[in-house]
Amino acid sequence: MGKGYKLKEVVYTLSPFEHKIMTTFWSQFAYKTKKRISENWVNTLTLVCPVAGTYMYANSAVEKEKHHHRM
């Protein structure tokens, strides 16, 4: 019939005593974010402008509604 296959399992874990796991990510985070925004500023604006506009419109509508109910 069929042969039995012995499977080997490799488990990778992080030590709780290791503190340098994410240091390169956090040390380069500001630089990489600035670089990505400056290289793709048109795409950034097409995302940020509608979101900011919607947020400002919603806050304005809420304030108008509050003002309307005070009178």
Among 30, 27, 28, which residue's Cα sits nearest to residue 38? 30
Does residue 1 surpass a pLDDT of 60?
Answer: no
- pLDDT band of residue 27 (cuts 50, 70, 90) is confident
3-state helix, strand, coil in the chain (%, to 5): 65, 0, 35
Name the packing angle between helices 41-70 and 23-39 (round to 10°).
90
Identify the pLDDT of residue 51.
95
- Whether residue 68 is predicted with pLDDT greater than 60 in this model: the reply is yes
User: Please, which pLDDT band fits residue 23 given cuts at 50, 70 and 90?
Assistant: confident
Q: Is the pLDDT of residue 21 over 90?
A: no
Residue 1: half-sphere exposure toward Cβ, Cα within 13 Å: 2
Helix (H, G, I), strand (E, B) or coil at 43: helix
